[in-house]
Amino acid sequence: MNTIVVNGTRVREFLPMRECIDAMERAFRALTRGRAVVPLRPVVRIPGDAGGALAAMPAYLDDPRSLGVKAISVFAGNEGTVHDSHQGAVLFFDPDHGALVAIMDAGAVTAVRTAAASAVATRLLARPGAEDLAMLGAGVQAHSHLEAMRAVRPVRRVRVWSRTAARAAAFARRYDASDLTVTAVATPREAVEQADLVCTVTSAREPVLMGDWLTPGAHLNVVGASVATAREVDTAAVLRSACFVDRRESALREAGDLVIPIREGALHESHIRAELGEILEGASDGRRTPEEITLFKSVGLAVEDLAAADIVYRRARDDRSVPRIDLC
């Protein structure tokens, strides 16, 4: 039995954003219907100042029927080196016999599926005419989030802030020849005030976004922090918003943006209005009024990787130029 090996470049070729957004929607629905098996992820944290972690994310999904595990390292300190901050592989298995049918670059899968999940939230929760986007962070996820936001809302203006001003400027330059106006700004506040859409995609451990900067009717995708001890948005931002998550169980363990205010006694877990799948399945409201601020807290789920990997696998399987290896 040969195993297909799909590198990052081919993953991006085989995984168009719009198709991935629809796949994320199906995955969230399957999760809500109880048609997915997704244990909480174990994470190995490497002791020492440099940090770094390795997470294992296994899952089974009924629709599309798929089985796999993502092994991914997260080294936030890799900025400025030749290494990405997220590296690893998705191992994709045949759910009938357990054969390992594909190995694919996890960094590329993560880049696309995370932004696609935020796009599902944005499609469900943001006001239809949202055109003014604030991007906090200018790394891999910032680029994929801009593509994803444009797929679901008529984005025209983008203000980007990053910790390193040169990185925000470089981000803006990438879109010089596009029909977008992308401006690098000096503070996160300048980016966020008056924005209809806000994406926080930084590796910050302390809040970079304050709730009193938010405009009524805004929608936020809060993506960067996926551990209980780090957060990108302050308690006021969460309290001012109707909160939505990819999965309650994961968010209440892994989302510092929610866990820290809960621990401080400022927030109760009932503040989470719904999982995205519950809105999609008609079991919960999304946005209730045009003035409401909505906040999607993403921690990232293995079913997202699996649903994205399924798209990649189907394309790669039919493409004879994709390498195969015999592991036996």
The answer to the question of residue 172 lying near ligand NDP (CB under 6 A) is no
- Vertex 16 angle, CA 11 and 18, to 5°: 150
The answer to the question of residue 298 lying near ligand NDP (CB under 6 A) is yes
The answer to the question of residue 66 lying near ligand NDP (CB under 6 A) is no
For residue 295, what are the CA distances in angstroms to 174, 236, 324?
A: 28, 12, 42
Q: Give dist(CA 159, CA 305) in Å, integer.
A: 29
Torsion of CA 280, 110, 74, 2, to 10 degrees: 120
Amino acid symbol at 18: R
Q: Give dist(CA 122, CA 9) in Å, integer.
A: 27
Of 178 and 187, nearer to ligand NDP (C-beta) is 187
Segment near ligand NDP (CB under 6 A), from 40-48, 63-71, 120-128, 222-230? 222-230
Q: C-alpha 203: how far from its chain's center?
A: 13
Segment near ligand NDP (CB under 6 A), from 57-65, 189-197, 233-241, 292-300? 292-300
Segment near ligand NDP (CB under 6 A), from 17-25, 56-64, 156-164, 236-244? 156-164
Q: Give dist(CA 161, CA 180) in Å, integer.
A: 16
Of 74 and 306, nearer to ligand NDP (C-beta) is 74
Question: Please, which of residues 87-126 interact with ligand NDP by CB under 6 A?
Answer: 110, 114
Identified binder of ligand NDP from the candidate list 32, 85, 87, 221, rule CB under 6 A: 85
Judged by the rule CB under 6 A, the positions of this chain that interact with ligand NDP are 74, 76, 79, 85-86, 110, 114, 137-142, 162-164, 167, 201-205, 208, 223-224, 226, 298-300
